[in-house]
């Protein structure tokens, strides 16, 4: 009987740690990014919106998101700059909702080069990007494509 309870506890613990977030994810600080992989180590597909907003200028890297490959909600990237290492999102292959990219100052943007599908609209607004190769694998994006005051050099 004791072995059964031990086995049940271990199974429930494994299931609990493998779950993904069930509400929108807002990342404003480096600690928020780092804790994602700690709290959800087996989460590779999220069914909610992922909002990364570096308006506090505290995010140095996105490595805590490196296990994610699919975002079924919207992906929003705001206020990133050259001091932010965005290579942690290189494994993203599909965005089910909208891709919003605004108020960013990036020299090289290659980190979304594995995305093949965006289910909603793609919006770039108020960005300065010197080299934008970030969506070169994109095969299917049935939504709108919007470029609001964005400088692509």
- Listed in order, strand segments (DSSP E) in 6-149 are 25-27, 45-46, 50-53, 70-71, 75-78, 94-95, 99-102, 105-109, 117-118, 122-125, 128-132, 145-147
Position 11 scores a pLDDT of: 46
- In order along its 153 residues, the chain shows pLDDT tens digits of 566 555 455 444 444 455 999 999 999 999 999 999 999 999 999 999 999 999 999 999 999 999 999 999 999 999 998 888 888 999 999 999 999 999 988 877 778 889 999 999 999 898 888 777 778 899 999 999 898 876 666
pLDDT at 10: 47
The confidence score (pLDDT) of residue 4 equals 58
Smallest Cα–Cα separation from 152: which of 134, 115, 111? 134
User: For position 136, what pLDDT does the model report?
Assistant: 85
Structure tokens belonging to residue 18: 């493998």
Q: How far apart are the first and last CA of the chain?
A: 68
Distance CA 3, CA 114 (A): 45
pTM for the model? 0.84
């Amino acid at each position: 009987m004791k072995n059964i309870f031990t086995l049940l506890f271990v199974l429930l613990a494994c299931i609990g740690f493998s779950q993904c977030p069930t509400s929108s994810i807002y990342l404003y600080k480096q600690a928020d990014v780092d804790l994602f992989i700690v709290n959800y180590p087996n989460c590779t597909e999220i069914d909610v919106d992922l909002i990364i907003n570096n308006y506090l200028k505290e995010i140095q890297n996105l490595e805590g998101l490196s296990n994610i490959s699919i975002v079924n909600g919207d992906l929003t990237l705001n206020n990133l700059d050259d001091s932010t290492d965005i290579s942690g999102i290189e494994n993203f292959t599909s965005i089910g909702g909208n891709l919003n990219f605004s108020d960013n100052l990036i020299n090289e943007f290659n980190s979304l080069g594995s995305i093949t599908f965006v289910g909603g609209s793609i919006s770039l607004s108020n960005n300065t990007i010197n080299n934008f190769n970030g969506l070169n694998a994109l095969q299917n994006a049935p939504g709108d494509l919007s470029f609001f005051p964005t400088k692509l050099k």
